[in-house]
Structure 1
Amino acid sequence: MNSDHSAIEQRKSGGGLLSQPKAVWAVAFACVISFMGLGLVDPILPAIASDLHATPSQVSLLFTSYNLVTGIAMLITGMVSSRLGIKWTLLTGILFIIVFAALGGTSGTIGGIVGYRAGWGLGNALFIATALSAIVGLSKSGTAKAIILYEAALGLGISVGPLLGGELGSISWKGPFFGVSALMLIGFLFILFMLPKLPKPTNKTTLADPFKALGFPALLTLGIVAFLYNFGFFTLMAYSPYVMDLDEHGLGYVFFGWGILLAIASVFIAPWVQKRFSLVASMCAMLFLFALDLAAMAIGTVNGSPDTVIVAVIVAGLFLGINNTLITTAVMQAAPVERSTASAAYSFVRFLGGGISPWLAGKLAEWYKQETPFYFGAFMVILGVLVLWVRRRHLKHIDRTTAAH
């Protein structure tokens, strides 16, 4: 439980962000490669649609199957890791990603790719839920700095992924799938040889534990907010490539810029914001600015100005980077449960939003107008701000804990 870690946190929090054991760097490196897989497919979405004669909503099912399976599988990650241990859960997750990413590259139909992305999502769930708790548990510098390191790995992976995806995708849309598989094999070897065998938890986690964790109002609030703002996040990820009028290289560079801003904001700006403003005020401000940014994408689409959409997508990295670090830090302190359980419960709720939103964005464009998905995404993000503000009293203890560290 979180209270069990208080004495350890006091001893660890004095270490610098870069003063980490080899095991932490091994997991962080694997995280970079894992998160590359999220952005790697962005530059090739229009190419897949063109090659396989599919609509944007059909291609968006690549995100939907991936996110839905990731979210549902989050419920079993704690149960699996408490029995296999952290190291073998990470390795199992990576193995799933290696196999299903490679199979995705061999497929010639949208249905096949969507199915293989579901298997990829299962591996992703086992990996990312365990990786976060592993970095936090093994770090010498305390929870807040460990999470910044995790978010930095996320930002780096998300930024480099589209660049690599654009390069490989310009050869063939299959290239990024094989690229992820090869890179995750390297990550597998890093974890295998650099991560020591860690003791298994004394308490075995059950399937009911994540649902019990959501009984804590703070964790439920953060999950609902993430569920809602993921409608904006995945509208940006899964739909914006269709309205920027760019080839694979161009889309790769745009999402590289977005990811770089996300990484900079996560590592350098978010800690500054955390120290000076309350959690609720900071998150409300970032999400409100993100909603305005989505509205700017809609206006750019209406006016036939791809440049406006391009700039808005890149700028969004700033707001999302700060918000991601704030909400991830908060989740780790939201409820008196194991960190891995808190992460699994929160991720289950937020990935459900990530599962519905990509498909819905494509459908809204087919049913109404090209700009409708951006307006709807902005509306859902604003709804997240309202939920956060109405339920702000449940998060007061997190501000006090953050201030103490």
Structure 2
Amino acid sequence: MSHAPSEGRFFDQPRAVWAVAFAAVVSFMGLGLVDPILPAIAQDLDASQSDVLLLFTSYFAVTGIAMLVASAVSSRIGPKRTLLSGLVLIVVFAALAGSSSTVGAIVGLRAGWGLGNALFIATALSAIIAAARGGVGRAVILFEAALGLGISVGPLLGGALGGISWRGPFYGVAVLMLIGLVAVTFLLPASPKPQPHEHTSLLAPVRALALRPVRASAIVAVLYNFGFFTLLAYSPFPLHMGATALGLVFFGWGLLLAVFSVFGAPRIAARFGDLEALGGAFVGMTVVLALMGALHASQTALAVLVIAAGAFLGVANTVLTQLVMESAPIDRPTVSSSYNFVRFTGGALAPFAAGKLGEHVGVGIPFFLGALAVAAAAVALYAYRTAFRDTAAVELDEILEFDTTTIDPQPLVPAHR
């Protein structure tokens, strides 16, 4: 696997790639956008923190479930139409969420937002890989750069607009995503309408979990994302900060995540190896979450640890995504749908569980549980290490026995590493 693309040509990409990347930035803003305004929503709408954290649960749960149909939709209407459909849904539901007056309504509208997000995310990475120059490694780094930038700018925008009104960030995303919709419409080339023999079965992402590399990726990812989503969703409450201050803290977190996604991860993986880099990131994240649980009473310590977590998350996101895309011996849209279905659906439990534990058991308990989940991800990574290291050798028997007719019309060839 190549890790360090030549710097001179890294940004030399077609306009279509930048159009999708911009839309991806805005899409990923939705992950951290509501962080700075969670306490304000709880206060203004007289809701508990566990009620407000359902904004994350509904978003992630629907995103994960919708991943099951995303590849099937894309194989029927084409990647570009799928991307545009997702963008339209995000624009509509983000705007409606900003106009709502109850937490229940916002939770429901965030679910619709998650549906649009699923259609977009499941297709965006494949679209960037198909259009980008420099191979899968460079495309994944571009995608993770968009993720990191979106996650970092999201809280900053949320804090700035949330300082005026908690409704502002929702309207802001709707406007920015509308710009992304226009860019993708005019800059991404139209894809030919898929033929019937190219249609992907609705069950393809579920069937893909029978393949060991996909199953391994999903198990590792869902455990890791439980810790990720715990930090992302729950941290604003024990920090006890206003919207602007929270926006700055999570901006620092997202900025560090972006830097390590683009620049740190390829170099660390090249020096130590993919699995070693990913395992090290998991260990670092486990330590950070455990310290957050122990030091939650110190606002300064908690803020510093939130920001520091971005470095480990940046490495983990990039290396894990590239391992998933290059290890699985089936088409990438199906892999993306299967992998994201498991990690988002499972991770959706983390925010709600954190809210309940924080309210009824102890403020630091959600962080300790998140640390335990990420530690389990490291153990699972070690247990499944052969699924990533030598896909062709390990999976040959499974591939030959696997019913591929409902997954991919293309020849089933393991990705070259």
TM-score bracket for the superposition, by shorter chain length: over 0.9
In the alignment, residue 81 of structure 1 is paired with which amino acid?
S
* Counterpart in the other structure of 1:318: 311
Alignment match, 1:327 = 320
Contact residue 329 and residue 415 of structure 2 kept, 8 A: no
Cα displacement (A) at 1:403: 12
Alignment partner, residue 19 of structure 1: 12
Change over 3 Å in CA distance of 1:317–1:285 after alignment to 2 = same
Is 1:183 aligned to 2:176, yes or no?
Answer: yes
Q: Which moved more, 1:273-282 or 1:140-149?
A: 273-282
CA shift digits 1:140-184 (9 cap, x unpaired): 110000100010011111111111100110111111111111110
Q: C-alpha offsets along residues 295-325 of structure 1, whole Å, 9 cap, x if unaligned? A: 1111111xx2011110000000000000100
Q: 1:225 is matched with which residue? A: 220
2:287 corresponding residue in structure 1: 292
Taking the TM superposition and a 5 Å limit, the aligned residue runs for 1:6-405 are: 16-202=9-195, 203-301=198-296, 304-397=297-390
Shift, 1:14, TM fit = 11
Cα separation, partners in 2 of 1:402 and 1:381, compared to 1, 3 Å: farther
- Go from structure 1 to structure 2 and tell me whether the alpha carbon gap of 1:283 and 1:256 turns closer, same or farther (over 3 Å shift): same
AA at the equivalent of 2:282: L
* Unaligned runs of at least 5 residues, structure 1: 1-5
Give the superposed CA RMSD. Answer: 2.1
- Decide whether the 8 Å contact of 2:63 with 2:344 is kept in 1: yes
TM-score (norm 1): 0.94
Cα 1:290–1:49 change in 2 (3 A) is same
Which residue of 1 is the match for residue 403 of structure 2? none
Separation in 1, partners of 2:383, 2:182:
47
| Partner of residue 3, structure 1 | none
Alpha-carbon offset, residue 274 of structure 1: 2.1
Conserved? CA contact 2:326–2:416, under 8 Å = no
CA shift at 1:398, angstroms?
Answer: 6.0
What is the CA–CA distance in structure 1 between the aligned matches of 2:158 and 2:194, rounded to whole Å?
38
Contact 1:13-1:140 within 8 A present in 2 as well = no
The residue matched to 1:258 in structure 2 has which SS?
helix
- Distance in 1 separating the partners of 2:83 and 2:114: 14
Q: Distance in 1 between matches of 2:284 and 2:194?
A: 41
Structure 2 unaligned segments of length 5 or more: list them.
Answer: 394-412
For residues 304-355 of structure 1, what are the alpha-carbon distances to aligned partners after superposition, in whole Å with 9 as ceiling and x for unaligned?
Answer: 2011110000000000000100011011112211111001000000001221
Structure 1, residues 181-226: CA drift from partner, whole Å, max 9, x if none? 1110000000011111022445111111111211111111111111
**Partner letter of residue 154 of structure 2?**
G
In 2, the alpha carbon distance for the partners of 1:184 and 1:78 equals 22
Aligned residues: 394
One-letter code aligned to 1:55? S
Superposed CA offset, 1:224-276 (max 9, x none): 11111111111111110011121000000000000110010011011112212
Q: Which amino acid aligns with 2:308?
A: V
SS state at 1:135 partner: helix
**Structure-1 separation of matches of 2:384 and 2:80:** 37
Structure 1 CA distance for aligned equivalents of residues 392 and 357 of structure 2: 38
Question: Is the alpha carbon distance of 1:200 and 1:276 closer, same or farther for their aligned partners in structure 2, counting shifts above 3 Å?
Answer: farther
